[in-house]
Chains A and B, each alone.
Chain A
């Protein structure tokens, strides 16, 4: 029982970070039909921005701020202006290829220009471990869970309660009508990309102390974000949240109760089962067209 609680908590903590990446993923899809195959690398890169900032002599938190600004510029604005915008009129396929290539570019650049070895990353939370009813619960897990939940909760509030947020939702649902009603659709799409970059930065700062900063981190992270987004429902933020938590828990459970060799297979089987039985995702709403 104690073991189970332990697994559940660390699964939820990991899952909440996956959820951050998955939420960004669904936001991009809603705002501009971009399936971002580089999402994992988007989460990998800001960690290196922090390390670069610290190498320039900044203390930890200013370095995180530096990374955030850099991410907003590179992963948000530049990504949208240079890659997504010119390709949107040509449909989703060239964009899919371009994001695959972009992921490769980011991964290889970090490997060549920063280093192929895993870099130690400063811890955000103290390394203390509490003993709760026989289960050891680390402060790091609890901290990660709380920060991710606050970020997603804040985003949800922003989207539902502020004028800008509602304009963003309107542009995602029906750009044509939103434009007629006076919403600056292009700017709203840009905001979406900036939010995705910010979420990626938060996820990166939270996850890098656990996995260490490594150029290849994006491979698994991207896949997990992807699965989480589909499992939860592609057109819902809460879907991506539930998907992320679920994938985190299943991943940790299968590491213990299923063989280590097939650990990676469990989330994939979940993905296939969802597509078979409930293609719109657990919380998604049906869009229901085959054409």
Chain B
């Protein structure tokens, strides 16, 4: 499976450029789409799942042009949108059955087996007869992922999947996705939560203001932030100065004041200790410095 995005642009009728000249290659495995709110992630996703037309550019899925072969490409898709609610009158299993039917599973016996299997997988088997609209937030997300995956799609698009989930649910969710990513499928995970990506994605793209800032593996992104992440123990007055000058990643109260972690191209503080960056540090560094440099 390979998705090739070429010179993709999306301009809304109000003139807003949601996507500008995006070029991306996505291959099997989990692909993270990272960026702040409004960066164009959802626009890209909606174009990918054929809900929206791009203004220009092309998306090829293997050899198929997305704009000409929606029918074939839709057969490959599994999609979980950000704000996922239900037809209020359907039961949990019915909703899954509905999705399974639409994904083309015609044999009733096989379909019901799959429904049960997926209910088990996402831990909703006991709630199979509950009205889908009465499930908790986490359960709904799980049902959402189940409906997206039940037809064994080759391209799975998941938009902000962990928003509103408690940590336990989040871990469970990541595990499900990790499991799928072992198969011959592309999973595109759009998020603004770096943690969702760090543990699972082999590749990622960073979107900012509709443009592609970075495309590569997480270690490559982390490498960019090397020598640019610092920790400083500081007191009250200095903290205010630092805050104004550098993007702060975390602030932990200590005996003398605060233990502050920040990113900076260069730092003129003697107390600053260089830290080994992680993906979150790299993301902040990228957004605060590299992205702005690119823009300028």
Chain A complexes with chain B: no
